[in-house]
Structure 1
Amino acid sequence: MSERVGAGKSGRKKVRDGIEGAKVVELRPKQGAASDKAEQDSEDRRFIHRDNGIWRRKGDNPPTFICGPVDVLAESRDEEGRNWGLLLAWDDRDGHRHEEAFPRALFAGDGNEIRSRLADGGLTLGAGTSAKAAFLEWLASLASEQRARSVTRIGWHAFGGQSAFVLPDETIGEAGERVVLQTTEREASLFGVSGTAEDWRREIGLMCAKNSRLVFAASCAFAAPLLGLLGEEGGGISFKGDSRVGKSTALRVAASVCGGTPQNGAGGYIRSWRSTSNGIESTALASCDALLPLDEMGQLDPREAGEIAYLLSNGQGKARSSRTGGARSVARFRILFLSTGELGLADLNREAGKATKAGQEVRFADLPADAGRGMGLFEYLHHEDTPEAFARYLRTATGQIYGAPLRIFLRRLADVMANEGEDELRGRLRDRIADLADDWLKDYPAASGQVRSVAARFAMVAVGGELATSYGLTGWADDTPSYMAGECFHAWLAERGTVGRREEEQAVQQLRDFIARNGEARFERWVDAVTAAEAQSEIPDAPPGERFRTQNRAGWKRWVREDDGKSAWRYLLTSEAMSEALSGLNQRSAKAVLVERGFLLPGKDGKIAAPISPPGHKKVRAYEVMAAILGSDEGDR
């Protein structure tokens, strides 16, 4: 009996000796070995690191499996010494290497988020309560002498006077140290690459030539990274037109410059308008300094259309409070978006019962998708016989080739910025944009600032296409991007109908619509006895008698004799009615425009509203509107 007990004790001692003698491996970057002193100090004898994974010691009991092998490449932090995290690396079950930066803020909770992301990357994790607790304990113990710079969004970032473009899996440009994208919530990267830049130039770029909308769409993708360099505000263009004219094809061509996914090709890079303003904000943050393609604007909630137009162009998300009531950091981004839809922004606002503000229209330009050649969006079909066949060809090509042109473009642009200097490059590009916009508007010297702003955006798109062409990416002639962008700008201008300020047209349109819509229902007739008697005897088209009572009066319609001897209605609106008619506009400016255009007659005392004495009412001030605003000199009879 005593021998068996002694043998048991001897066996347990051998197990303990074996566990204590197991090799403890420091989790450190593979590049650059640490000193012996650093390795010795970093040892944590609570954990065992083996070739098949990481284990937690449990005294005399068998160790607990935590997870498969993981390397710590660096500790990360941002420019302000915050957003600390760990850059981890591991191999999945197929032997593919994964690297991802995790904020240390994720370690403070139950660890489910980081466990989920590691498991999604193919890392084997221990199961059970004790394994999860040991996993959190192990995370808290990790450290590294290596450092990396963390950022929370993609796009351009400045590091020590130099700029680098951060993509989810690559940093382009010189940053002085490794830069990693580190976010609390991971979004699948859509910047996939399939094929080469030469493949794209041959199979897609050359097929865009002689098609203004396709060249313009591809140029938008190259122009998006220029926003930050030029200090321009965000905004976008939407291809507006009937179904099946080729709008989605143009969007796929633009997306193929930037990225895609193996499942959907370049279509995987396209996002949907079917989202709330909060959802669009996170989408924009994941597309900063890169083109954001959005398909089918009709899926957008009309009540949020105007708000989202401002959100995307202003580059700033909503202000929100933290769990403690303090202010959270506001999301900031720079976005150039390209959209499609059968409806435009004005149509959605009208559906929601809202007026479209001029600022929204400038930031969100509706470009007619139909090129006017009887082939929908296309003007030249190259080797195909029908627009449908050409669209199928481009859909197939963009399903197989995508992503490479943007990366080559960014590398070339980063080299130019480093060698030529950002200020020099910025000045040269701004001069080119100004020259193009001035050339397009040379026949419109009175063009408003709103029109010139849109012209500058279209010119920036042209410059993006010119740069890509000079880098050998497109296969186009040097002047193709600027010529095609000019064609698109003039199509937008023709659709807009005026080079003046949109508020001027809106003032006339809203007042016209208000009077035409309400008519007899809200304008009480005012016909003087003498005028009526004269009308019956002298004028064959005298006004008919009253047929029903006016409800919710907006004013009066008075039958008056004009200076030319003809009689017509004059519309006299109360202050409340005029405010209602011009709702959403600057009232003072709108009234001044109406006076200038001759539709609103000011009073003899110099005030816009003149005193009147309607039959049966006390003297009131009202706005006197000519019947010509309805589009007929004879008025509404």
Structure 2
Amino acid sequence: MFELRPDGLYQIKSNHPLLFLCGYLQVLAIARAYGQLHSYGLVIQWTNIDDRSIIKFIPMRWLHGENLKLLKDLLLDSGFKVTNLKNVWDLITQYLHESTSVPTRALVTETTGWLGQSYATAGWSVNCQDDELFYIGTAIDQLKQLGSLHSWQQHVGRLCEGNPLMVFACCTALAAPLLHWLNWDSCGFHLVGNSKSGKTTVLILSASILSDRSYCYTWRATANGLEAIATGRNDMLLCLDELHQANPDDVDQAIYMLANGVSKIRGSKEGFAAKTNRWRVGFLSTGEISLSETLAQIQKTVRAGQEARFIELPVARQYGAFDYLHSAMNSKEFAEMLDRNMAANHGTVFRAWIEYLSKQPNLAEYLRIELAKIREKLSKTQYGNQTGYALDRFALLALAGEMAIAAGIMPWEPNEAINSMRNLYECWLDNRGHHHDSEEHVLRRILAHALPHWGMGLVDPSQALQDGDVGYVVNDNDECEWFITKPAFRDGLQIQHVSQLSQRANMMKQRGWLITNEGAGRFEFKRQFPSGKPHDRYYRIFPSKIIRDLHLNTQVSQIKH
């Protein structure tokens, strides 16, 4: 006979005092692996010498013969307290055998994410099955919670309104568990921006849906452990900061590895192929340089598959990563307020979101139908495969956001997510296939060369553009304006890397050298000239101001056009 007390397990003998055997050890349930009709075992819970509670699944075979050594190793290596009685392990094994009559049945899983309508994480589960559900994998619980959902909505979520990149960050986290229901591969976004632009704050905002800022990793720190991290984030968001500090070779391999969702095939000690890990994640990355600039350091170019799986967005809003500062005086004050609020409110949204999703009938079919509708709202134009792939991902983010709004989880007005994703998708289209470098001295040198080149290819608005022409020259209110075509503008600015166009155009816009009528995040100017088409777009620049501000030794009147 045995008696389990809070301080440990005791043996009971008639006319003998209680005999202490070991620390607290309890059988919680008889379990089997999810989706299997074999692999039965016990879910056991014990307390180690540091008073830490541990829950593990042990196969039934560990209670017999030589396999008992595996149970001993597991318990002892964890710090389990055992007396030095000669037959103590025989007694512990007997106790476990007697405990197999426990009525509770359970399912166990080594992976996080969806199991039917249920969802498992290393720290908690949303269970929609009759049997209990236990996570027995190796991932560490990093889904920390602080504050309430309502508090997050008021102090963090509300600040996202009017800020497309912030809405995007939240929707990226919400969309990750939807990939499973659409049977889509992993996919990710990369935010490219200058130092102190607010991109890391946006990354932490995305993480706040699930946890605190410790949920974010840096590219450099995860080079060797990215497979394990991705496995522990299956059906969740993966946050990676500071691409510019990573080894380019590691990045080159990581993009495909993350998107493919399967670990490398390795051999076991016995010479057989070891078990491969699988995952499906949405990942969000940040950095001061683009993927193409990263790979250029090792004389490589971005492959089509990498570009599709690593959708790059410029961080070039009105105030860096932000458009609307709410009550803050400047972007620095706004970012600091957001950081404080996220430190006190995080991790509550994701569980509420998973609980909501787990209750939705026919979720996969619903997502497919609604996704097609939102795709039409984002763009009615038919594009090629790569552009369509990106459009689908922006549409998924918009759908996730709108569903969360309807569920009362996101504190935004309807269409906030759709409008934000439409804006960002159009920004992505503006920069698609083009590369950039952000150094200001490079822009100065390039403009000094580009202005004379552009000037010689300009024509009067009454004339039709011919081969070799770069745009129109217009004199309004004694101010000379140039409307440069998109190809000529990109050629003149020597665009070579994917983020150069937005960064250089944004730099010109901030200095008043370029204006747009296309809204935040875009830099083109829509205008119809007598010989042009109704929806033609140009880059509208002010050459005289550029010459004055850069102290160039030339005058607009000296430029032949």
Both structures adopt the same fold (TM-score exceeding 0.5): yes
Q: Secondary structure at the match of 2:106?
A: strand
Q: Structure 1: any 5+ residue segments left out of the alignment?
A: 1-22, 26-48, 260-265, 503-637
Indicate whether 1:297 and 2:278 are aligned.
Answer: no
Q: Aligned-pair RMSD on alpha carbons?
A: 3.1
CA distance in 1, matches of 2:163, 2:12: 68
Q: TM-score, normalised by structure 2?
A: 0.69
Equivalent of residue 102 in structure 1, options 27, 38, 57: 57
Partner of 1:352: 298
- Give secondary structure in 2 for the equivalent of 1:466: helix
1:153 to 111, 114, 125: 111
- Give the match's secondary structure for 1:225: helix
Counterpart code for 1:429: E
Sequence identity of aligned pairs in percent? 27
Shifted more, 339-348 versus 131-140: the winner is 131-140
Matched, 1:224 2:176: yes
Number of the residue aligned with 1:176: 130
The Cα shift of 1:143 comes to: 2.9
2:330 counterpart of 1:380: no
Secondary structure, aligned partner of 2:146: coil
CA–CA distance in structure 2, aligned partners of residues 328 and 167 of structure 1? 24
**Residues 64-119 of structure 1: per-residue CA shift (max 9 Å, x gap):** 744223221102211224554432345789999x46233437964374444444x4
Residue 495 of structure 2: aligned partner: none
Letter of the 2:161 counterpart: A
CA displacement, residues 196-223 of structure 1 (integer Å, 9 cap, x when unaligned): 1111111101101111111100111111
Query: Are the aligned partners of 2:2 and 2:9 in contact in 1 as well (CA < 8 Å)?
Result: no
Which structure has more RCO (C-alpha within 8 Å, separation ≥ 6)? 2
Structure 2 match to 1:340? 286
The letter of the residue matching 2:57 is F
State the partner residue of 1:471.
407
Tell me which of 460, 463, 479 is aligned to 2:396. 460
- Which residue identity does 1:425 align to in structure 2? Y
**AA aligned opposite 1:434:** R
Partner amino acid, structure 1, of 2:196? R
Deviation for aligned residue 1:396: 0.8
Whether 2:372 is the aligned partner of 1:431: answer yes
Corresponding residue to 2:100 among 106, 121, 143: 143
Contact 1:215 1:484 (C-alpha < 8 Å) held by counterparts: yes
How far, CA to CA, are the matches of 2:91 and 2:330 in structure 1? 61
**Residue equivalent to 2:486:** none
The alpha-carbon distance between structure 1 residues 136 and 354, as it changes in their structure 2 partners (threshold 3 A), is farther
Match of 1:306 in 2: 252
Instruction: Indicate the residue corresponding to 1:164 in structure 2.
Output: 118
| 1:69 counterpart = 2:10 | no
Matched, 1:448 2:400: no
Q: Report the equivalent of 1:316.
A: 262
Distance in 2 of aligned mates of 1:115 and 1:438:
60
How many equivalent residue pairs? Answer: 426
Deviations 1:299-342 (A, max 9, x none): 33211212110111111111122222222222111110011111
Structure 2 residue 233 is the aligned partner of structure 1 residue 255: no
1:399 aligned residue: 343
Q: CA deviation digits over 1:266-298, x for unaligned, max 9?
A: 112212222465511110111111111112123
Report the alpha carbon displacement of residue 251 of structure 1 after superposing the two structures with TM: 1.0
What's the secondary structure of 1:224's corresponding residue? helix
CA distance in 2, matches of 1:352, 1:74: 54
CA contact (8 A) 1:74 1:147 kept: yes
Contact 1:291 1:337 in 2 (8 A): yes
Calculate the TM-score normalised by the size of structure 1.
Answer: 0.61
- 1:203 corresponds to 2:139: no
In 2, the alpha carbon distance for the partners of 1:488 and 1:81 equals 47
* Residue in 2 that maps onto 1:88: 44
Unaligned runs of 5+ in 2: 436-561
- In the aligned structure 1, how far is the partner of 2:180 from the partner of 2:374? 15
Matched residue of 2:240: which SS? strand
Counterpart AA for 1:157: L
Q: What is the CA deviation profile of residues 222-258 of structure 1, one whole-angstrom value per residue up to 9, with x for unaligned ones? A: 1111100111111100111111110111011111111
Partner Cα distance (1:111, 1:325) in 2: 25
Q: Which has the larger radius of gyration?
A: 1
Q: CA deviation at 1:427?
A: 3.2
Name the CA shift for 1:70/1:247 in 2 (closer, same or farther; >3 Å). same
Q: Counterpart of 2:238 in 1: which secondary structure? A: strand
Give the 3-state SS of the residue equivalent to 1:87 in structure 2.
Answer: strand
Paired with 1:433 and 1:320, the residues of 2 have a C-alpha distance of: 42
Return the offset for 1:492. Answer: 2.0
SS at match of 1:227: helix
Partner SS state of residue 262, structure 2: coil
For 1:24, the equivalent position in structure 2 comes to 2
Is residue 193–residue 316 contact of structure 2 (8 Å, CA) maintained in 1? yes
The answer to whether the 8 Å contact 2:8/2:20 transfers is yes
Among 354, 357, 361, the alignment partner of 2:307 is: 361
Does the C-alpha gap of structure 1 residues 343 and 56 become closer, same or farther in structure 2, counting only changes over 3 Å? Answer: farther
Q: Which amino acid aligns with 1:459?
A: A
Amino acid at match of 2:2: V
Does the residue aligned with 1:143 lie in a helix, a strand or coil?
Answer: helix
Q: Which amino acid aligns with 2:325?
A: L
